[in-house]
Amino acid sequence: MHEVFGNFLKDCQEYEPTHEDNRFFVRLRTEMSKDYVDDASRAKVFREVLSDRGVDLKINKIMDTSFQTDGHIGVKGQPHTLTECKNEWNNNNADPLLQAFMYYLEALKSGPFTDLSTRLPCLVIYYVGE
């Protein structure tokens, strides 16, 4: 395992949240607890809240596919962070976690890393309103 993953695990166990971190989480919880008319509205607010903390999620299509995430960050077209939003469970029979994994798989297949055994990590964040 690469050293950076060991550091990440250590940070997860030892990190002390700041007052700013707590304000961010309260804001995110508050905003995501609200009712939204659709997935796009909820995802837009999610991206805005994260943007205020310096996390710039893009809503571009994944490589040369027709798949558009609710927000992702990548390098050279390859996502290392994917988000998928559903306004409510079962509103269109799509599981947000599986949908995000499919986006990631398609990005691997159509990007510079065409070997599907490539170990290119990706953080998948999914969130559902109700």
Predicted pLDDT of residue 117 = 60
Structural domain count, the chain: 1
**Per DSSP, which regions of 39-77 are E strands?**
71-75
Predicted pLDDT of residue 111 = 64
**Per DSSP, which regions of 21-104 are E strands?**
71-75, 78-86
Predicted pLDDT of residue 113 = 59
pLDDT, tens only, 85-128:
888 776 566 787 888 888 787 777 776 655 556 666 788 888 88
Sign of the alpha-carbon dihedral angle for 113, 115, 116, 122: negative
Structural domain including 80 reads: 3-128
pLDDT, tens only, 1-57:
567 667 888 888 998 999 999 999 999 999 999 999 988 999 999 999 999 999 999
> pTM score, two decimals?
0.79
